[in-house]
């Protein structure tokens, strides 16, 4: 088989790419190892709801049409939305790309269904293919069960007893809350995190991010792009605020960043107060920016994060207090199938606004072209611009 463009992945990024390739009359195929919206179907936990409100989730040619624009979609609703936008997309499901190599005419792809030759390739295989678990996990005693967000489905599948949740970004705070509510006492290890209220001055905080233009800031205008691309996801989940204060009210115990596991004990840094103060400061700065943009007097300010006077710095993992650890320490892409030297030592694809070079492109990566690039609402502009560049490159 020979096509002009192969798109790898049928999540929202691959579907958006196809929309603009079709509009530009570029013959293409979208290869998906699983099903359309595979990550949302198979790699998320049961209770997950989007942190972006329904009205904000739009794809090229598809926006929310249901009765609850201010609601937060569950996984079945996300899958349904993506399936609807895949109607006219030339997707081949159940086709895993196992190798991409340079060839005379562009790229040779090896897939589970045979070889494909393409002049250009768009990598839309996702930024969150595997859980990033720190190497120190290897020192956890075998009596403690270890789980990543990919294995986790509901609290009832964890052993009874205490749970150490490592990481206090969007995933960590959600899982800490629901595990604590299930009756399993949670210790939450919090490093750097991004605090946000769900609602500010009567509007969803993402309404402010969207309308103030912060989320559409371009990658080439961001001061420290490397840092912006590594920022943790905001502490948002579903309809209400879910920050560290909410978690302590539920009974979750806060500890500092996990720094080592030694002699069967987890050791935490003493910097909890500092990281919490920094998150408060940054949240207040963000709210100031909203006020400035709106031209209004400063609005509501939220209580500083309550940090225990002395948080535990050591947790014995052999005492039976902790029966499981949930690694909510982030996700990373998997490019093990990419046989082109375009991945740096840290495993990130090297690109300039989604243009890798030599007919290779990417979509769906953090701050690819804008701050909102990894979100569903961020793909339309990115995909249009990347496909535009691809079209120009094809034209020589």
Residues that bind ligand FAD (CB under 6 A): 8-14, 31-34, 38-39, 44, 50-52, 96-97, 124-126, 128-129, 171, 331, 337, 364, 374-377
Ranges of beta strands (E only) in 74-167 are: 91-93, 97-103, 106-111, 114-123, 130-131, 145-147, 162-166
Closest CA to 188 of 72, 280, 303, 275: 275
Based on the number of CB atoms within 10 Å of its own CB, is 231 exposed (0-12), middle (13-18) or buried (19 or more)?
middle
Please state the separation of Cα 335 from the chain's center in Å.
17
Which structure tokens are listed for 212?
């103030």
Cβ neighbors of 195 (< 8 A, separation 6 or more) are: 234, 235, 243, 244, 279, 280, 282, 283, 305
Shortest separation between residue 302's beta carbon and ligand FAD, angstroms: 22
- Residue closer to ligand FAD, measured from CB, 290 or 375: 375
- Residue closer to ligand FAD, measured from CB, 129 or 248: 129
Query: What's the count of helices (H) and strands (E) in the chain, helices before strands?
Result: 9, 20
Shortest separation between residue 54's beta carbon and ligand FAD, angstroms: 10
Residue labelled with tokens 């001061």: 223
- Residue closer to ligand FAD, measured from CB, 124 or 144: 124
Shortest separation between residue 170's beta carbon and ligand FAD, angstroms: 6
- Residue closer to ligand FAD, measured from CB, 174 or 305: 174
Shortest separation between residue 278's beta carbon and ligand FAD, angstroms: 24
Which structure tokens are listed for 61?
């040619």
Shortest separation between residue 148's beta carbon and ligand FAD, angstroms: 11
Closest CA to 308 of 268, 255, 246: 255
- Residue closer to ligand FAD, measured from CB, 64 or 337: 337
- Residue closer to ligand FAD, measured from CB, 326 or 377: 377
Shortest separation between residue 28's beta carbon and ligand FAD, angstroms: 14
Shortest separation between residue 43's beta carbon and ligand FAD, angstroms: 7
Residue labelled with tokens 């769906």: 364
Q: Residues 254-273, buried b or exposed e (16+ Cβ, 10 A)?
A: bbbbbbebeeebbbbbebbe
Cβ-proximal residue to ligand FAD, closest one: 11
- Residue closer to ligand FAD, measured from CB, 154 or 319: 154
- Residue closer to ligand FAD, measured from CB, 258 or 368: 368
| DSSP code at position 144 | S
Shortest separation between residue 72's beta carbon and ligand FAD, angstroms: 7
Nearest 5°: the CA angle 221, 392, 27 is 120
Shortest separation between residue 372's beta carbon and ligand FAD, angstroms: 8
- Residue closer to ligand FAD, measured from CB, 5 or 52: 52
Q: Residues 199-216, buried b or exposed e (16+ Cβ, 10 A)?
A: ebbeebbbbbbbebeebb
Largest CA distance in the chain: 66
Closest CA to 26 of 46, 42, 4: 4
């Amino acid at each position: 088989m020979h096509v002009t463009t192969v798109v790898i992945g049928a999540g929202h990024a691959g579907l958006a790419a196809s929309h603009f390739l079709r509009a530009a009359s570029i013959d293409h195929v979208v290869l998906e190892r699983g099903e359309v919206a595979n990550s949302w179907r198979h790699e998320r936990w049961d209770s997950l709801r989007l942190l972006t409100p329904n009205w904000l989730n739009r794809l090229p040619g598809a926006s929310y049409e249901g009765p609850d624009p201010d609601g937060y979609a569950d996984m079945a609703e996300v899958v349904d939305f993506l399936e609807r936008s895949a109607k006219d997309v030339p997707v081949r499901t159940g086709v895993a790309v196992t190798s991409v190599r340079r060839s005379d005419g562009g790229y040779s792809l090896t897939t589970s269904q045979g070889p494909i030759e393409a002049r250009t390739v768009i990598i839309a295989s996702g930024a969150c293919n595997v859980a990033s678990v720190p190497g120190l996990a290897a020192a956890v005693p075998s009596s403690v069960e270890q789980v990543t967000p990919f294995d986790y489905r509901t609290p009832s599948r964890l052993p009874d007893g205490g749970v150490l949740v490592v990481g206090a970004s969007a995933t960590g705070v959600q899982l800490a809350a629901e595990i604590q509510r299930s009756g399993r006492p949670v210790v939450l290890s919090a490093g750097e995190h991004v605090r946000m209220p769900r609602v500010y001055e009567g509007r969803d905080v993402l309404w402010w991010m969207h309308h103030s233009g912060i989320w559409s800031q371009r990658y080439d205008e961001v001061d420290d792009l490397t840092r912006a691309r590594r920022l943790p996801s905001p502490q948002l989940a579903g309809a209400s605020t879910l920050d560290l204060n909410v978690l302590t009210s539920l009974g979750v115990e806060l500890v500092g960043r996990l720094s080592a596991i030694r002699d069967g004990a987890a050791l935490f840094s003493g910097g909890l107060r500092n990281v919490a103060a920094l998150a408060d400061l940054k949240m207040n700065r963000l709210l100031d920016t909203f006020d400035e943009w709106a031209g209004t007097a400063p609005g509501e300010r939220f209580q500083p994060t309550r940090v225990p006077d002395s948080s535990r710095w050591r947790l014995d993992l052999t005492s039976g207090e902790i029966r499981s650890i949930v690694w909510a320490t982030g996700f990373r892409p998997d490019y093990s199938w990419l046989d082109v030297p375009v991945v740096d030592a840290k495993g990130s694809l090297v690109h300039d606004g989604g243009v890798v070079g030599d007919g290779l492109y990417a979509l769906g990566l953090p701050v690819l072209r804008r701050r909102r690039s990894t979100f569903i609402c961020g793909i339309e502009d990115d995909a249009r611009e990347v496909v535009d560049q691809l079209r120009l490159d094809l034209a020589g």
